[in-house]
Structure formats: C-alpha cells, structure tokens
Amino acid sequence: MTSSTMSAWAVQAPGPIDSGPLVRVERTIPSPGPGQVRLRVKTCGVCRTDLHLCEGDLSPRRPLVVPGHEVVGVVDELGEGSTRFGVGERVGAAWLARTCGSCRYCLAGRENLCTSPTFTGWDIDGGYAQYVVVNDDFAYAIPPQLDDVHAAPLLCAGIIGYRALVRSRLPANGRLGIYGFGGSAHLTAQIALAQGARVHVMTRSEEARELALSLGASSVGDAADAPPELLDSAILFAPVGTLVPPALAALDRGGTLAVAGIYLSDIPKLNYEEHLFQERTLCSVTANTRDDGRDFLALAAQIGMKVSVDPYPFDQADQALHDLCHDHVNGAAVLVSP
C-alpha cells in the first residue's frame, strides 16, 4: 500500500451477511473540499443500519459504498474555508451528513425531514476506512469525558435513541417499555432512568436482560411479553414488525409507541380497539437534527453514561457485522483502527 492510498471496507454485492457482501478494498485517501475536514479515523461504531445496507434491506445509493456513520477521528486536514475545527481536534461524524438548508423542513428547524439529505455511509463513504471526509457544519465536538471507543456508539445509536425517547412523549416519572435491547436501547434506557422513569425491557437475549437489570430496569421479559404494568410510552428498537401489536397493546390510554429503526419488517394487521383506540399513537423516527445530537452528547457527558461496547480490530469489520446479525454482540460493536 502506498502513502496515497488507504484501506477500507465496501459493500460489493448486497446479500445475506454470511455470503460476504462486505469486502476489503484499497482507496485513494480523500481530500476535503470547501467547508469540509478530513478525519483520521480512530473508531467507528457498527450499527444495525450498516447490516441492513450490506444485506440489501437498504439499497446502496452507489456502488462499493463504504459503510459507517458513528465515526470518531482526529482532524488532519482542513478544506478551504473550514474554520470550525482545528487540526488535531477530536471530532465525530454521524448519519446526517448534509441537508439542503432551503426546503420547508430545514427552514422550520426540522432538518431531519429534509427533502434532499445526504447520509454518511449510504450516500457518501463512511467510517469503515482509515480516513473520511465530513462537512464541518455537521460534525460534532466529542465531550472530553468520553474516550474514542465509548464515544462512537453515541453518534447514531445514542442520538437516534434520544430522538426516539423524545418522540415517545414519555411524561415525567413515567412508565417506559423498550423492545429490543442493543446498542441504542441500552443508552436510551439510561436517559429515561436519569429522568426518573420506570423502565421495562422486552428482549429475546438473556445477556441483554442482564445488562438491562444492571442498568436499573424495573423488569425484563421476552420480546413479546406483556410488561408488569401499562406503559405511558414505548420504543421499538428491534426491526421486527410483529412486535408492534404487543407493544401497542401494552400502552395505557394516550400512550405512544415510537419505532426507532430505519428498517422494519412488515407489521401484522392491527385491531383498532385493542391497539389504537383511546388515543394510542404509533409514530416513526426519522434521522435526527443537529440540535438532537448536541443536546444528547451534552446529556450523556452530564449523567456519566455507561456505554457497553464490544471492540473489534478494524481488520474484522466483516466479523463484527456477522456477530451483530447473529445476536452475538452485547451492547455496541466498535471498530478500532490500529
């Protein structure tokens, strides 16, 4: 490998993860354009969205795209007019890479619904690489309380979970149900607990149940189990549409179920009286705003958030996704560059 090239992982042919859709490639080291910075990647979280991309649940936006949108790196080159960060600063890059800034959603402060967004690791190359270029307006300063490995999952799993919690309209000291308990859910639960909520976790993983109890959950059960009390709010993190009916049925009057994933398998037929009547609400969560990201990172530092991580060497990105697919990751998988 020459000094002008870098190692990266790219999606070659989307398909089942066991078929090897993610391949090792050599790329030219990118140069930052106006308003951009280049990061030397230190760590990159392994998100379930990356798995959906590799397996074809999300169609790649371009050939041989490099996944990864939970990136922590050090600025090593500035593009023209980039003044927000200096060389050597530690910076995070997340899922939302750029918005148009001019559509009615952007102008209304709802940039997560931008009609022409760009996403890291889907539209443009992400952090499964030694270097990545990001728009400095969409990058985040990393709180000093968080090291590289533990900061990475916060940049998607954490931010999206935070937005899902907001969307679930959890009242003060309310009752929250969490369905699925992986990288995002175990972070979201800590925010809810810090705010005085009672948290009930439904997940098929015994290890995840143990983690939930260790963090302070009031109860744990299997994925489709009924919680021990009716819920004010619920968040579905597992990409399993068959969990929507039991989650809705577990809501008290006026409760809200927020679906946090970018992908969900088909939802079975709902019964209006059982699942939606009495002003129960079913809503989705779409990306995040930059304010969500800034607010969440500050809150994570403030409460001393515990991030359960499973580090993998950069050379084992394919293995990390395999383990995520087969539920062998407890917490959040993170690629660590040498």
187 vs 1, 29, 305, CA distance in Å? Answer: 39, 33, 7
Residue 145 token pair:
């309380």
Using a 10 angstrom Cβ sphere, with 0-12 exposed, 13-18 middle and 19 or more buried, the burial of residue 268 is exposed
* Residue 338 pLDDT: 86
Residue 17 token pair:
């993860």
CA geometry: angle 240, 193, 163, nearest 5 deg: 50
* Residue 327 pLDDT: 85
- Where do the domains of the chain lie, and which CATH numbers do they carry? 5-155+308-336 (3.90.180.10), 159-284 (3.40.50.720)
The dihedral region occupied by 5, where left means phi > 0, alpha psi between -120 and 50, and beta the remainder, is: beta
* Residue 1 pLDDT: 42
- Nearest Cα to 126, choosing from 261, 317, 308? 317
* Residue 46 pLDDT: 96
* Residue 183 pLDDT: 84
pLDDT in tens, the chain (338 residues): 457 999 999 999 999 999 999 999 999 999 999 999 999 999 999 999 999 999 999 999 999 999 999 999 999 999 999 999 999 999 999 999 999 999 999 999 999 999 999 999 999 999 999 999 999 999 999 999 999 999 999 999 999 999 999 999 999 999 999 999 988 999 999 999 999 999 999 999 999 999 999 999 999 999 999 999 999 999 999 999 999 999 999 999 999 999 998 889 999 999 999 999 999 999 999 999 999 999 999 999 999 999 989 999 999 999 999 999 998 887 789 999 98
DSSP 288-316: --HHHHHHHHHHHHHHT----EEEEEGGG
* Residue 214 pLDDT: 96
Distant-in-sequence, close-in-space partners of 108: CB < 8 Å, separation ≥ 6: none
CA distance 222 to 225: 5
Distant-in-sequence, close-in-space partners of 6: CB < 8 Å, separation ≥ 6: 26, 27, 28, 29, 129, 130, 131
* Residue 261 pLDDT: 84
Strand partners, 274: none
